[in-house]
Structure 1
Amino acid sequence: MNNSEIQAAVMLTQQRQKRGIRITIAILLIFIVTVLVGFVHRLSQPRIITDSELRLNGTVKLQRARILDNFQLVSDTGEVFQTENMRGQWTLVFFGFTHCPDVCPTTLSSLNSFYQMLDENTQEETNIILVSVDPSRDSPKILHDYIRYFNSDFRGLTGDFIEIKRFASQLNIPFNKVILNEESYTMDHGTQVVLINPLGHYHAFFKAPLDPAKMKLTYRSLRATFKE
């Protein structure tokens, strides 16, 4: 074999080695990307937790979702709002009133923090509603301005006192008027946030005080395990 043939053989061997190295690197890169994609995907998936873990994180799931009787209230835009309006999405319901000095603003601020933690698609499938327990003072306009101060996506409901009482009773939310003096009063009410599933049934509730991070954890798990 002459020199030119030897050189050609060496060059061919080097080319094959380089090609082999490139292929090996490409395979390694594909493997690394696959592992990273799988890891990111797992991180994005909700962690399924048990009922006892739910309770430890401030959430109580009903053993059997409760079917709600129909009610008729008024939204903060002046439209009729009924049980069927809660179907098709997840709805978080909190009972409060606009003259509430501390509990309601704190709860709504926590709900806003929780809502901001959700991804865009989950936000679109999640309604957060304040139901007024003080309808004599909370007109739709007043409720509209109040609730949207906390988040423009939140909604408010008011209406006939008896209808509100019926709705609250189905969700085990107590409330009553407390007379302060001859000219003023306040409202005493339950502080838990009720979760209504996409069928319009009472599904679970979040206990006060709310922890937005824990709410996100339990909410994602409840959504992932829900079966229509």
Structure 2
Amino acid sequence: MSKSIPIIVILLLGSLLLWLSFAWEPAPVGKMGHSPLELEARPVGGDFELSSAEGPVKLSDFQGKVVLLYFGYTFCPDICPTNLAIIALALRGLDADALDQVQVLFVSVDPERDTPERLAGYVQYFHPSILGLTGSAQELAAAAKQYGAAYQRNDAGSSAMGYTVDHSAYTYVIDQAGRLDEVLDHATPAEEIGAILRSHLGETNQS
């Protein structure tokens, strides 16, 4: 069976982007059908190494860039697509020079199903600048612990999905020196994310 993303997903993502652009008003997290978990611990940040479709990737590979780090998974029904679509809108609001100085990392907390190749295809439907990462269960747990990210597998019973993964839904802003600078709430508006990125890039350009 093909592991490619069905065409209907592409159409749904396109509709989601249009909705976010013109009609979206964020609802309280507790009213969503798939509620994210809270942070497991105070995030401290730090380097880690995981795998992409192109090979091993370290956070420190992106020093000199502002990094947005997000933990999720490709089978996520609502929270991850919403956050990634919002981040994609923020990226589209940057000019080419600014975009070159930003890297978004989407780290899967579902290593059983999310291969590096599946992640590479999934993130491309949102924005070509997003990089999908995964690793062993131990590697992912260690990286998540550094950022206080919480996740847990839940049996979906008779559902075709088999299981879901509840997870925290924060976006971590990492500065050009690799330091954790800010933790953004779920569904932080694209305009706010864009302003944060420009602030970091402006500090760099003025130095």
Per the TM superposition, whether the score is higher than 0.5 is: yes
Of 136, 143, 149, 2:112 maps to 136
1:173-197 deviation line (CA, Å, top 9, x unaligned)? 1111112227711001111111111
2:144 matched to 1:201?
A: no
In structure 2, distance between residues paired with 1:174 and 1:111: 20
TM-aligned CA deviation for residue 225 of structure 1: 4.6
Q: Are the equivalent residues in 2 in contact too, given 1:112–1:150 (CA < 8 A)?
A: yes
Q: 1:81 aligns with which of 57, 60, 66?
A: 57
TM-fit CA distance, 1:222 = 3.9
SS in 1 for 2:176: coil
Structure 1's consecutive aligned runs of 4 or more residues displaced over 4 angstroms after TM superposition are 225-228
- Report the equivalent of 2:193: 215
1:151 to partner: Cα distance: 1.1
Query: Share of identical aligned residues, percent?
Result: 27
Per the alignment, residue 111 of structure 1 pairs with 87
Give the helix-richer structure, 1 or 2: 1
Are the counterparts in 2 of residues 76 and 155 from structure 1 also a CA contact under 8 Å? no
Q: Quick one: distance in 1 between partners of 2:106 and 2:45?
A: 20
Could you list the per-position Cα deviations for residues 117-146 of structure 1 after superposition, in whole angstroms to 9, with x for gaps in the alignment? 112111000001110000110001111111
Cα RMSD of the aligned pairs, angstroms, is: 2.2
1:72 counterpart residue number: 49
| Structure 2, gaps ≥5 residues long | 1-42
Supply the distance in 1 between the matched residues of 2:48 and 2:85 (Cα, whole angstroms). Answer: 27
| Aligned counterparts of 2:195 and 2:59: Cα–Cα separation in 1 | 27
TM-score, with length taken from structure 2: 0.72
**Higher Cα radius of gyration:** 1
Contact preservation (8 Å) 1:94, 1:192:
yes
**Unmatched 5+ stretches in structure 1:** 1-64
